[in-house]
Structure 1
């Protein structure tokens, strides 16, 4: 584990709502699960900018992987996760089978999205390296981190497009929303 991963782990542990989600989900026994995106990188931004731990965090994206890509099977997991939480978490933990994303992504976002082999592969396709970070609370209480582009952008409050994909169609909207909550952010276009 490198220094930034250790620092991220410390920030996650100091974010009570995120730890509640991680602890609860760990107990569900989902395959290849990870909490990623906003709930993780925004916790870092809050720490760096002196904001409350859960400031600006709208939801908790929970990915897991099941090769059975039927909606009925995913719906069972969505209901299982919802039943594990009381409000408000019941309504803001958003569960998606990463094996199914390829089935609906193109229609929803207008981009090609080849099937994934595992949950962590999804992070490589996020719109910005700063967003491509995921964590899991392991059985031994370690916080495992996956960040295919590293954590430098997250800790440098920097958003830049993912160099391995086309610019997201809603890039400007994403940037406006982020800058409205964290005006300290640095946005790079390349």
Structure 2
């Protein structure tokens, strides 16, 4: 039921649907739009905001171990900006394990399962039938609990606290609380 609610909210958001359609045109392997793209929309709706809070970026993640070059990500970002002028950030998750000193990931879903906050580890994509699919390896329940929850796989409370402070989440969405 919560997953369907997220899909309904996304489908009603013109900018998010345009972004999903633009990203789908790249034909990336194992892709989704993740992090604040989903999280912020849910928090906005739970706080009864009339308008969506602005996104600092739109995280496009994909998984292609055959082409891990970061230059390709920048090419994809430019192609997306040409299609739709938004603040795109494209990252191939096949190399992101190196940055975080994890074992190699096997998919985008596994990669986001290591993100700092449980509420951030959610993505969405359009399938070949133009239907919304959620990628939520840690589930979606925490997203509806007005919480910012440390992902047990991350285990670094200082990272969660720093991110929450930097992004001013509890100022923007005042009903949120941090859970360790």
TM-score w.r.t. structure 1 length? Answer: 0.85
Rounded Cα–Cα distance in structure 2 between residues aligned with 1:76 and 1:123: 20
Aligned pair 1:97/2:97, yes or no? no
**Secondary structure in structure 2 of the residue aligned to 1:121:** helix
**Cα RMSD over matched residues?**
1.8
Match of 1:76 among 55, 68, 72: 72
Asked if structure 2 preserves the Cα contact closer than 8 Å seen for 1:135 and 1:144, the reply is yes
Aligned pair 1:162/2:162, yes or no? no
Q: Offset at 1:70?
A: 4.2
**Secondary structure in structure 1 of the residue aligned to 2:113:** helix
Rounded Cα–Cα distance in structure 1 between residues aligned with 2:112 and 2:68: 22
The equivalences for 1:116-127 within 5 A come to 116-127=105-116
**Secondary structure in structure 2 of the residue aligned to 1:85:** helix
Rounded Cα–Cα distance in structure 2 between residues aligned with 1:162 and 1:129: 5
Asked if structure 2 preserves the Cα contact closer than 8 Å seen for 1:158 and 1:188, the reply is yes
Q: What does residue 24 of structure 1 align with?
A: 22
CA distance 1:157–1:56, shift in 2 (3 Å): farther
CA distance 1:56–1:179, shift in 2 (3 Å): farther
Q: Offset at 1:157?
A: 1.6
TM-score w.r.t. structure 2 length? Answer: 0.89
Aligned pair 1:147/2:139, yes or no? no
Q: What does residue 109 of structure 1 align with?
A: none
Unmatched segments (≥5 aa) in structure 1: 107-111
Q: Offset at 1:114?
A: 1.7
Asked if structure 2 preserves the Cα contact closer than 8 Å seen for 1:26 and 1:139, the reply is no
Rounded Cα–Cα distance in structure 2 between residues aligned with 1:56 and 1:155: 20
Rounded Cα–Cα distance in structure 2 between residues aligned with 1:180 and 1:173: 14
Asked if structure 2 preserves the Cα contact closer than 8 Å seen for 1:69 and 1:100, the reply is no
Q: What does residue 40 of structure 2 align with?
A: 42
Rounded Cα–Cα distance in structure 2 between residues aligned with 1:102 and 1:69: 15
Q: What does residue 188 of structure 1 align with?
A: 179
